[in-house]
Amino acid sequence: MREDLLDRAMAGFWPALGVVDPVRIQAWDSLGLTIGQLRLLSALLINETMTVGELAEDLGVRPPTATGVTDRLVRQGLIERTGDSADRRIVRIGLTEEGRRAMREIEDVGRAFLAPIFERLGSQRVRELIRVFDEFVEAARTVREEARSFVAVGLPGSP
Kindly list the domain boundaries of the chain, sorted by start residue.
Answer: 3-121, 122-159
pTM (2 decimals)? 0.74
Residue 8 reports pLDDT greater than 50: yes
State how far the Cα of 130 lies from the Cα of 45, in Å rounded to an integer.
20
141 vs 65, higher pLDDT: 65
Mean pLDDT across 49-60: 91
3-121 placed in CATH 1.25.40.10 = no
101-121 residue pLDDT tens: 999 998 998 899 999 999 999
27-47 residue pLDDT tens: 888 888 988 899 999 999 999
pLDDT computed for residue 92 by the predictor: 94
Residue 75 reports pLDDT greater than 50: yes
**Residue-level length of the chain:** 159
| Buried residues in 79-99 as b, exposed as e (16+ CB within 10 A) | bbeeeeeeeeeeebbbbbeeb
9 vs 144, higher pLDDT: 9
Q: Are 44 and 95 in contact (CB under 8 A)?
A: yes
pLDDT computed for residue 151 by the predictor: 57
Which amino acid is residue 117, in one-letter code? I
pLDDT computed for residue 84 by the predictor: 80
95 DSSP assignment: E
Residue 159 reports pLDDT greater than 70: no
Residue 157 reports pLDDT greater than 60: no
Angle between helix axes 35-47 and 52-59 (nearest 10 degrees) is: 120
pLDDT computed for residue 158 by the predictor: 43
